[in-house]
Amino acid sequence: MLFTSFEYILILLPVIIINYKNIMKKAFYFSHDSNARNDEKILMLRAEHGWEGYGVFWVLVEMMFETEGTSIQHKNLKGIAVACNIELNKLEAIVSTAIAEELFKSDGEEFWSESLRKRKNNMEYIKLKQSEAGKKAMANRYKKNNFNKSVVSDLEGTCNNKINKNKINNNVLNNTLEDSEDINPDIYKHIIEYLNLKTGKKFKINSRKNRSFVKARLNEGYSLEDFKKVIDIKSAQWLNDPKMEQYLCPETLFSPKFEKYLNQKLIDNGKFNNRTKTVSDFKESARDFIEVYGEGSLAGSTDGR
């Protein structure tokens, strides 16, 4: 049975509304240009698939936003077609046009929106800053309250009691301030778990050493997606290389060479070119590792545990 474009929009409308309600419940919001319908790439999509293609495009964007990786796997299109009550070949054609017009990017296994990822990263960064600001404000209030209580206790107690209580208050205060200056632990969890997933290793999330390298790069302004990109790039390059695989650890990946790794490019669908690793390749990675660990460190374990 054939439907007009208007009838397809009516069919898709409940799905769009349900997705919108789910986003509202989770307090997920992302910016959307009010004149997006007139964008040159969108116009090409509309010219090929009409308003139906435009509606499906935004349904896919919403679905991407709800996933942890901000992407959709090509193999899941069949299920999405059923959920959206649209023919699979029509959905695949819309996705292909969106990729061809660079509205979406694809590596052959999944596709995503670069613009959406940037906006989502900005949201996560703002949330992180708000969380840190809240912790600092709470620590300042705690410091003020403990100071006032300490003064009252000093006036009421003996000299020995004053000294003991001051020591206790100072210890509690120092621990609180130290915790307040730390970064949201969720960001460490996401990064270390992603590294373990890609490399098959078991680096500890709570390791001070692992966190110190992550924190150093976060303080330089790098985002969660930057860490994932470096992990993807170096895993593709080193994971199956017996000599280089040992360097897939936080000390090397998140070292001061992070920017260099981030700007490397992948070739042939996410893989490096198949040239044989040279001695200079191995030496360069070894130098990166020594800069972090110091001389004599190559003989030790590199699992960062």
pLDDT at 91: 95
Token pair 């042939």 is found at 268
For the record, the structure tokens of 132 come out as 């840190």
Query: pLDDT digit string (tens) for 114-134?
Result: 888 888 877 666 666 677 777
Mean pLDDT of 196-205: 93
User: Which own/partner pairs from 75-81 qualify as long-range (CB within 8 Å, at least 24 positions apart)?
Assistant: 75/109
Q: CA angle 163-169-171, nearest 5°?
A: 100
**Closest to 224 in 3D by CA, of 109, 128, 107, 111:** 128
List CB contacts of 243: < 8 A, sequence separation 6 or more. Answer: 277, 282
User: What architecture is domain 5-112?
Assistant: Orthogonal Bundle (1.10)
**pLDDT band at 60, cuts 50/70/90?**
very high
**Closest to 184 in 3D by CA, of 225, 215, 210, 220:** 215
- Identify whether the C-beta of residue 249 lies closer than 8 Å to the C-beta of residue 304: yes
Mean pLDDT of 1-24: 62
Query: pLDDT digit string (tens) for 80-109?
Result: 999 889 999 999 999 999 999 999 999 999
Amino acid of residue 18: I
pLDDT at 127: 62
- Identify whether the C-beta of residue 257 lies closer than 8 Å to the C-beta of residue 288: yes
**pLDDT band at 75, cuts 50/70/90?**
very high
Q: CA angle 182-184-185, nearest 5°?
A: 95
CA–CA separation, 254 and 193 (whole Å) = 14
For the record, the structure tokens of 296 come out as 């004599």
Decide if pLDDT at 279 tops 50: yes
- Domains in the chain: boundaries: 5-112, 117-180, 185-299
**pLDDT band at 63, cuts 50/70/90?**
very high
**pLDDT band at 258, cuts 50/70/90?**
very high
What's the CA dihedral at 26, 184, 265, 284 to 10 degrees?
A: -160
**pLDDT band at 301, cuts 50/70/90?**
very low
Query: pLDDT digit string (tens) for 141-182?
Result: 777 776 666 655 655 565 455 545 555 455 544 443 344 456
End-to-end CA distance of the chain: 60
List CB contacts of 235: < 8 A, sequence separation 6 or more. Answer: 198, 199, 248
